[in-house]
Copies of this chain bind each other. A is one copy, B any other.
């Protein structure tokens, strides 16, 4: 059997372009002892993957040119030579960017009983949702009733951050890149205040939405947002540093916030994290988030691109604001 897959054709310079990627064909073997064959249903594209396209040391090793990319995906077992997996099982794994594969059973996680469509386990009930959950509650040490600002608020992580904060009776502000997204945040997700960061200046938006300042700023974007937020924090505020998407395509070093010294007098904490630092909370997260999703307390949206040949477009779209909620590439049924 053959599977189409996406390889890195060359390293992107600045904003990724379609010809940085290429469709290749891989053979998918019949599973031998201890192996499982999987057809992927959907795959994730995430901003962090941009960092792996540079040839540099980071918390995940760089992708190599000519090799098929990897990333989170959900699949269905189509053949198994391992007793723990049977045909039809939903599995989660790190072999996205391809339609099918055969691998050792140890590389697959059983998804078990699911309460939502499989793609939700790449979004709200998956890595982005858990990033929001641990970032806000553990890193941000959120207290009920505080004022929370999240950037990239219409994204896969930000949209969940805001809703978890609302469940904690917080006053929630969000920034997004279009009027449509802003309307979705306030109308559908219950944000108290949302704004289009392309219009007006950030400091004015923050003064308007949080006249008494911000207790927790959940930073998905870095850059000017981080600087504006530091300038508007309340004493002892916390800033979980989750992403810096504004800088991921930068071709030169970008200066940091010029007001970081304000953290001294205000007693601010800036703390970076990635979700895998909190793997010990995975079971608790899944239980909480499945309950919130099934009760309707947490809503999620997906922007769906169909077919492996659209995967590069979906990835590029993360940096052009093409997604509301989680960006998903569907690969089969």
- Chain A positions within 8 Å of B, measured between CB atoms, are 58-60, 222, 226-227, 236, 241-244, 247, 253-274, 277
Q: A253-B258, A259-B253 are in contact. Are A273 and B264 (CB under 8 A)?
A: yes
Q: How far is the CB of A293 from chain B (nearest CB, A)?
A: 27
A253 to B230, CA, bound (A): 14
**Chain B residues with CB below 8 A from A58, complex form:** 265
B267–A263 touching, CB < 8 Å: no
Cβ of A59 and Cβ of B265 under 8 Å apart? Answer: yes
Q: Within 8 Å CB of A262, what residues of B?
A: 272
Could you say how many copies of this chain the assembly holds? 2
CB–CB A59/B266 < 8 A: yes
**Top 7 A-B residue pairs of the complex, sorted by shortest distance between their CB atoms:** A256-B256, A263-B272, A59-B265, A255-B255, A253-B258, A264-B272, A244-B261
Report the minimum CB–CB distance from A267 to chain B (whole Å).
5
Given A255-B255, A260-B257: A270 touches B270 (CB 8 Å cut-off): yes
Interface centre among A242, A267, A277 (most CB of B within 10 A): A267
Q: Judging by beta carbons under 8 Å apart, are A267 and B274 in contact?
A: yes
Complex Cα gap A58–B260 (Å): 13
Instruction: Give the residue name and chain of the B residue nearest to A255 (CB).
Output: B255
CA distance A269 to B260 in the complex (A): 13
> Once the chains bind, are A268 and B271 in contact (CB under 8 Å)?
yes
Q: Which residue of B lies closest to A253 (CB)?
A: B258
Q: 15 interchain pairs (CB within 8 A)? A: A59-B266, A226-B260, A227-B256, A236-B277, A241-B260, A241-B263, A247-B261, A260-B270, A261-B272, A262-B272, A263-B270, A263-B272, A268-B272, A270-B271, A271-B271
For A58, A244, A256, the residue with the greatest tally of chain B CB atoms inside 10 Å of its CB is A256
Residue of B nearest to A254 (CB): B258
Minimum distance in angstroms from A238 CB to a CB of chain B? 9
In the complex formed, the residue of B with least CB distance to A256 is: B256
Once A255-B255, A256-B255, A256-B256 are accepted as A-B contacts, the answer to whether A222 and B267 lie under 8 Å apart by CB is no
- In the complex, residue of chain B having the shortest beta-carbon distance to the beta carbon of A278: B267
**Which partner residue on chain B sits nearest A273 by CB separation?**
B267
Q: Is the CB of A269 within 8 A of B270?
A: yes
Q: Which of B247, B264, B271 contacts A263 (CB 8 A)?
A: B271
Contact B266 A272 (CB under 8 A): yes
**Contact B277–A264 (Cβ < 8 Å):** no
- Closest chain B residue, CB of each to CB of A264: B272
Name the residue on B nearest A243 (C-beta).
B264
Residues of B within 8 A of A222 (CB): 260-261
Q: Give CA–CA (A261, B249) in the complex, Å.
A: 13
Q: Are A267 and B272 in contact (CB under 8 A)?
A: yes
Min C-beta distance of A124 to chain B, whole Å: 21
The residue among A58, A262, A263, A271 with the most chain B CB atoms within 10 A of its own CB is A271
Could you tell me if B271 and A260 are in contact, using CB atoms closer than 8 angstroms?
Answer: no
Query: A226 to B241, alpha carbons, bound, how many Å?
Result: 17
